[in-house]
Every structure is written in structure tokens, then in C-alpha cells.
Amino acid sequence: MKNGLEDVIAAETQLSDVDGEAGRLVIRGVSLEHLVDDASYEDVVILLLGGLIEGNLQKEELRRRLGHMRTEVFADIRTIDDHILELPPVDIMRALIARLPDGDDLEAALRLLAAPAVFLPAILRLKNGDKPIAPSSSLSQSADILAMLGGGLPSAEKVKALDAYLVTISDHGLNASTFASRVIASTGAGLTSSVLGAIGALKGPLHGGAPGPVLDMLDAIGTQENAKAWLNQALDRGERLMGFGHRVYRVRDPRADALKLALKPLIEAGQVDRERTELASAVEQAALAILKERKPDRPLDVNVEFYTALLLDALGFPRDAFTGVFAIGRTIGWIAHAREQALKGRLIRPRSVYVGPLPRAA
Ligand code: ACO
């Protein structure tokens, strides 16, 4: 057994394939670079859930039902009190999702897809002392998230960029949160329990909690000239550079490039702080050179979180909300894996090796 279960195969899946040597991600037979080009969030929901859940998964019908579900779950934000509002956004989302009924059908799945998309913008507005904005059932999920966040109709570039983000991170093999979702599904607990467990796994800094710290790092570095010295000092202190390294990828994470590309139209439309993107580019180059020099035995490259930070910042999400946006996008992957596990798998129950003291002889 390897610590961290590296290289252990723990499930068969038709949902996604992560090729860490080639730097390739395939989601249900479609390469990420093709998928991200023209798929919306709703398209990827249909792609991932197809054959795993009963019900009508036609695009217009799905969009209508998802919109209706957003309106329904909006009522739940009444339960956010001052006490819970003190928690980080992702913890508030977790608490609100815990109130939803468990279930295994399309209705339960759609409720779980709608809930985080509605809860996060409302939480952020309440934290700012603003009134939450009600969802619009006629909008797409991405357009509605941005509308609930800032009020008014978002630009087409922003909607496309958020769609690209949600599609890019929709599923990614047996990552820690997806594994958690499958373990819970294997007990027959239901989709809400799977999603809750997965959110708990996602929020750690080694998984979905990294993009906020990426921006902190860029702020701390401040100028392009300071990048090399700052990064070396961080490594001297034994710290890890956020947004770099991955358990599976030994080359560049293809999601980083998909998000870098998604940022381009926003940059061209003048909707991104150009200075920040130039600094990020310089930090990326400096970090790659330093990691190569200091960790010659471990190929370390950019991961998805580096460009996530820049993209979500450009879309107006505060950095403490980035993990919550990740949860909005990954919920479809968690649900699809939970359904696949429930339909085709058995109870997941590995064994451990006991290394504790032996009982004393009588
Ligand atoms: N910065 C500096 N050194 C690193 C980094 C990093 N970001 N990542 C790994 N290393 C080094 C380790 O220190 C270790 O070096 P050593 O052998 O000299 O001690 C070596 O690379 C191997 O590290 P592991 O811990 O075995 O790598 P693992 O596969 O467990 O880690 C992880 C993967 C957790 C993503 C790691 O690269 C990391 O901590 N990165 C920073 C946090 C981050 O960006 N997380 C988001 C990941 S993407 C996602 O989950 C969506």
C-alpha cells in the first residue's frame, strides 16, 4: 500500500479519464479542449448524467427545471442567521445543503445542482450587508449565478467564461472529494449525503481550497521583480507554492490551459485587471523555473487552481468564495459518480493494516 493510495485503482468509471502523463482529460468521451469550446453548464449536466438517472434530460426541459429549482431553493436562505453568517462561505453552503432531503432521483439531483448556485451568491451578499437577489428561472445557470451575485444581466463574455469554468471542473476522475462521494453512495445513503461529504473533502487547501491562497500569493509578491526572491523564500520556509503540483499530472494540467483561454475574451474586453494577469504570468514562469531547479526529481507544473484564481477574481467572486464556486461546478461530477456507484458498485469497504501495540499475553 502506498501512503495516499497513489496508483491504487478503486473504481471503474465511464465518466472521466485523467491521463497524468499526457496531460489529457476526457469527460465521457469528449476531450476537455473540445468540450470547453462550446458546451454550456447545462450541456455537461446532460453529458454526465445521461443513462445514470431516470427522467427527461433534454436541454430546454433541463434548463427550465433547473431554473424552477433555483427559485424553490431560494426560500431556504431565510434560515441563514447571524451566527452561521460568521462562517466561511463554503461552510455556510454545507450547512444549508445539509437541510435538503436525501434522494436518488432526478428531482433530488436537480435540487442539489441548483442549491449551491443559489446559496453562494446570497451568502456573499448577506455577508456584505446587501439583500440577496432572487434567481431568474429563465436564465441559464451561469447567467443566473452572475446576476444573483451582482445584479443586472451579466455580459456575454462573463457568462461564457463562467460556463467554461463550470464545464472545465465538472469532473476529474477519482479525486478526493469524488472518492468521498462514491464511498458514501456505496452505503445507499443518497445524493445529498454524498454531496455533503464531498464538500467536506473539497474545502481542504490541498484540494479545492487552493485558489484563494493563489491570489494571496500574488498580492504578497506584488511586483514582477519580486517574484523570484519571494518564491525562493517561501520554499526555504518549507511552504508549497499554491497552484502548482498535482497528484496525477506529471505535466501541465490541461484545465489550466482551458481556463487561461477562457480568460482571454475577458482580457480583450477590458474586464480583467491587466496588471494582475501580467504579474501572474511572470510568477508562473518564475515558479516553474524555481521548482524545476529545486525539485529536479518531481515534475511540478501549473494546476487548475492557478488560473481558477484569476478567472473567478475577474468574474467578481471574492477570494474566500472560490472553493464555493468550485463546489457549484463539481456537484454534477459528485452526483454522476454517486449514481454510477449506486447502480454498478458494491459497498466500499477496504481494510487497514494494524500497526498498533499487540495485546499483552495473559
Ligand atoms: N510547491 C512546492 N513543492 C511541492 C509542491 C508545491 N506546490 N507540490 C509538491 N511539492 C513537492 C513536495 O514538497 C515533495 O517534495 P519532497 O519530496 O522534496 O518532500 C514532492 O513535491 C512531492 O510532494 P507530494 O506531497 O508527494 O505530492 P502530492 O502528490 O501528494 O501533492 C498536491 C499534490 C497536494 C496538489 C501538492 O502538489 C500541493 O500541495 N500543491 C499546492 C496546493 C495546490 O495547488 N492544490 C490544488 C491541487 S489541484 C486540485 O485539487 C483541484
For the segment 123-150, the average pLDDT, to the nearest whole number, is: 97
Q: Cα–Cα distance between 319 and 338 in angstroms, integer?
A: 29
Pocket flag, ligand 1, residue 246 (CB < 6 Å): yes
Q: Which amino acid is at 86?
A: E
For 211-230, the DSSP string reads HHHHHHHHHHH-SGGGHHHH
Average pLDDT score over the chain: 95
**pTM reported for the whole predicted model:** 0.94
- Beta bridge partner(s), residue 25: 18
What is the pLDDT, as a whole number, of residue 212? 85
Q: Which residues contact 225 (CB under 8 A, 6 or more apart)?
A: none
Ligand 1 pocket test target in 244, 249, 312, 326 with most atoms within 8 Å of CB:
244
Residue 332 alpha carbon to ligand 1 centre in Å:
26
Q: Measured at the alpha carbon of residue 58, what is the angle toward residues 54 and 64, in degrees to the nearest 5?
A: 100
User: Any catalytic annotation for residue 86?
Assistant: no
Q: Which amino acid is at 334?
A: W
* Residue entry with cell 456507484: 341
Pocket flag, ligand 1, residue 327 (CB < 6 Å): no
Each residue's pLDDT tens digit, 253-270: 999 999 999 999 999 888
pLDDT over threshold 90, residue 271:
no
Residue closest to 175 by CA, chosen among 41, 30, 17, 329: 17
For the segment 119-135, the average pLDDT, to the nearest whole number, is: 97
User: Any catalytic annotation for residue 305?
Assistant: yes
Q: Cα–Cα distance between 141 and 28 in angstroms, integer?
A: 21
Number of residues written out for the chain: 362
pLDDT over threshold 80, residue 211:
no
Of all protein residues, the one whose alpha carbon is nearest to atom 9 of ligand 1 is 245
What is the pLDDT, as a whole number, of residue 209? 80
Are 66 and 141 a contacting pair, CB within 8 Å?
yes
What is the pLDDT, as a whole number, of residue 273? 86
Each residue's pLDDT tens digit, 3-47: 999 889 999 999 999 999 999 999 999 999 999 998 999 999 999
Of all protein residues, the one whose alpha carbon is nearest to atom 35 of ligand 1 is 246
Q: Choosing from 42, 246, 284, 340, which is the catalytic residue?
A: 246
Q: Indicate the SS3 state at residue 315.
A: coil
